[in-house]
Amino acid sequence: MNCLVVHAHPNPDSFNHAVRSVVLDTLTGLGHSVDLIDLYAIDYQPCMTEHEHVGYLDLVESGPDEVVAAHMDLITSAEALIFIYPTWWSGLPAILKGWLERTMLPGFAFALADPGDSTKALKVRPRLTNINRLIGITSYGSGRLEVRLLGDGGRRTVTRAVRALCGARTKTTWLPFYRLDGSTAEQRQQFLATVAERLTSALPSAPSTAGPAT
């Protein structure tokens, strides 16, 4: 299976990077093909330009930025899309939010129905039907109850907004780690083990292409 991992954390010594390492090792160990977009490592520009804003509806045809176009190609070839990020201010890091805004374009990630066509029940139609597994992995400074009270914008974005762009049969997996700031080394190691276990369950080993033994 072709897997695309989108990672957003600036500190290479962070627990978030440890999670990323486990994800990459697990996926490759299962025999999957893995592409990584490390947004901070490539110094990604998350701000939509004036040109992109003005030409938003036709940007796919007129030609997006070359970095955006390269990322769109990776999404097109992916079957599993995996987000790894810390939850800050009850939502996605700004760099990841900007990546979604600049990459998930009309004509690519979704199609807009003709506003004058009253026969169309859906105004937005998904186009990322190649994605059959969507996975979100995030850490929180707060506990589960506080996160629910404050609202979990990142989770809604991944499991609802991005999910709505995928096929009807796309399955979603959500892996949250609460109270990171007060966690113990044992708790963090247990979560890493859980990530590997859940990935193995969600994305079973790729079938072997080796021929019969001689």
pLDDT, one tens digit for every residue, the chain (214 residues): 999 999 999 999 999 999 999 999 999 999 999 999 999 999 999 999 999 999 999 999 999 999 999 999 999 999 999 999 999 999 999 999 999 999 999 999 999 876 666 555 557 899 999 999 999 999 999 988 898 888 899 999 999 999 999 999 999 999 999 999 999 999 999 999 999 999 999 998 866 544 444 3
Asked if the structure places residue 178 within a domain, the reply is: yes
Q: Tokens representing 134?
A: 């969507």
Q: Which residue has the tokens 């966690």?
A: 183
Asked if the structure places residue 208 within a domain, the reply is: no
Asked if the structure places residue 157 within a domain, the reply is: yes
Asked if the structure places residue 169 within a domain, the reply is: yes
User: Are the C-beta atoms of residues 173 and 202 closer than 8 Å to each other?
Assistant: yes
Asked if the structure places residue 24 within a domain, the reply is: yes
Asked if the structure places residue 141 within a domain, the reply is: yes
Print the domain residue range for 80.
2-201
Q: Report the CATH number that the domain containing residue 97 is assigned in CATH.
A: 3.40.50.360
Q: Quick one: three-class SS letters along the chain?
A: CEEEEEECCCCCCCHHHHHHHHHHHHHHHCCCEEEEEECCCCCCCCCCCHHHHHCHHHHHHHCCCHHHHHHHHHHHHCCEEEEEEECECCECCHHHHHHHHHHCCECCCEEECCCCCCCCCCCEEECECCCCEEEEEEECCCCHHHHHHHCCHHHHHHHHHHHHHECCCCEEEEEEECCCCCCCHHHHHHHHHHHHHHHHHHCCCCCCCCCCCC
Asked if the structure places residue 211 within a domain, the reply is: no
* 7 CB neighbour count, 10 Å cutoff: 22
Asked if the structure places residue 207 within a domain, the reply is: no
pLDDT of residue 214: 35
**pTM of the model as a whole:** 0.92
How many domains would you assign to the chain? 1
